[in-house]
Structure 1
Amino acid sequence: MNFETGLTNAATLTALLLAPALPAMAQDWPGSKAGEPAPVVEGMPEILAKNLANFDDLDFNVYTGQDWENLHKSHAENILVHYPDGRTTTGIPDHIKELAFMWTFAPDNRITEHPVRFGTADGGWTAVMGQLDGTFTEPMVLADGTTIEPTGKAYHLPMATLGRWNAEGVMEEEFLFWDNATLMSQIGVGQ
């Protein structure tokens, strides 16, 4: 992580900590699962419930189904996305290029649950943890053209997303977190 990324992540954490809190009754944050309706939380503001349901749809349907033509339902056209390795992309087309890579080596790549999901009372921020699952069954072609042959091993990788939402109900900034070393180890490539 470089200095600039560290500052951005610190600013994001500060914004989350200082954001308006929800009433105590809404602090029981149930998880969600693919194929089930978004959980209803008593006292949760409508805008936050809407943004969390939108995020569930993003991961369970749009991402998992590679339904890229519907990414605009949760992402602003010029979304700024921060990746675990410190890189960023701007705009939906570049974000899709990054996301689509996972299916090149794991055609069964998917997210089926969000055991942790919450956000700020004004709906401006959401934090969602999920499990990324798949199997390394196709060759992985790296950016330098090097190919890693499939091992047939599965991965079950914890991941998290912090999303900053705008008044139109889509994310304008997204922070993605997962451990690439753990992914490589689980698929039999890393030590």
Structure 2
Amino acid sequence: MIDRRSLIRNSSAASFGALALAVVSSGSQLAYGATDQHHSHDGHGGEDGFPANLTHAERKHLQIFDELDFEIFTGQKWDRLHESHARNIRVHWPDGHFTDGIDKHIADLAAMFVWAPDTRINEHPLRLATNQLTAVTGVMKGTFSKPMPDGKGGFIQPTGKTYSITMATVGIWNKRNTMDEEYLFWDNQSFYAQIGLG
């Protein structure tokens, strides 16, 4: 049995891949193709697009995560982030740093919309769920259309370039159906290159 917490704590692209493989090999089924449109029955499970054998908790976690990305994040409804995130959540970012607490996470998410107001996630191509763990891929898109704060009191002028990056989020859920920890993965080099800063 793989200790998922130690695997995730020492995260890298390779360990994320190993985690996904472990979920698949353990017999958990995949939930495919979630978008912000109605789920269609595609032969992979129930009529709502989820595998038929998910537990109630696993199904609820994936449903909450869909709502998080498609409605709350994309719509900047920060007053609803507590529906998916625990107050003391620890969030691990792709560059290796982490933050603690929902208020800091809201500030970080809101900062993305300052320079790319059309930032959005409208699809989850692949979703995994097993027990208190979910792993979801998404496609985040936006346009570098407004000045970007450089962290030194100045601004980087917009390039007008669009971006579309595949990302993955691993969440560890508690019994209150909120995440205690969230791990975000995407390729920063590709991201900066797409917006003209790489």
Change (3 A) 1:41 1:7: closer
TM-score, length of structure 2 as denominator length: 0.83
Residue in 2 aligned with 1:180? 188
- Work out whether residues 91 and 181 of structure 2, in 8 Å CA contact, stay in contact via their aligned partners in 1: yes
Distance 1:41 1:70 in 2: 27
Deviation (angstroms), 1:44: 1.3
Question: Are residue 8 (structure 1) and residue 18 (structure 2) matched?
Answer: no
Q: Offset of 1:27 from its aligned partner?
A: 2.1
Distance change >3 Å, CA 28–CA 10, structure 1 → 2: closer
Letter in 2 for 1:104: V
Structure 2: which 5+ runs fail to align? 1-5, 40-47
The answer on whether the counterparts of 2:30 and 2:126 sit within 8 Å (CA) in structure 1 is no
Q: What is the Cα deviation at residue 46 of structure 1?
A: 1.2
Relative to structure 1, is the Cα distance of residues 17 and 152 closer, same or farther in structure 2, using a 3 angstrom cutoff? closer
What is the RMSD of the two structures over their aligned residues, measured on CA atoms? 2.5
State the shift of 1:182 in Å. Answer: 1.1
CA distance in 1, matches of 2:123, 2:8: 30
Displacement of 1:119 after TM fit? 1.5
1:16–1:125 CA contact under 8 A, matched in 2: no
Q: Give 3-state SS (helix, strand or coil) of 1:115's partner.
A: strand
Q: Are 2:138 and 1:112 aligned? A: no
Distance 1:18 1:6, change over 3 A: closer
Secondary structure of the corresponding residue to residue 29 of structure 1 = strand
Query: What is the aligned residue count?
Result: 182
Separation in 1, partners of 2:126, 2:10:
20
Residues 93 and 158 of structure 1: CA distance in aligned 2, closer, same or farther (over 3 Å): same
- Runs of 4+ aligned residues of structure 1 deviating over 3 Å after TM superposition are 10-23
Matching residue of 2:71: 61
Residue aligned with 2:59, SS: helix
Structure-2 residue corresponding to 1:132? 140
Output the TM-score relative to the length of structure 1: 0.86
Report the counterpart of residue 163 of structure 1 in structure 2: 171
- 1:45-84 paired onto structure 2 within 5 Å: 45-84=55-94
| Cα deviation 1:86-105 (Å, max 9, x = unaligned) | 11111110001111111111
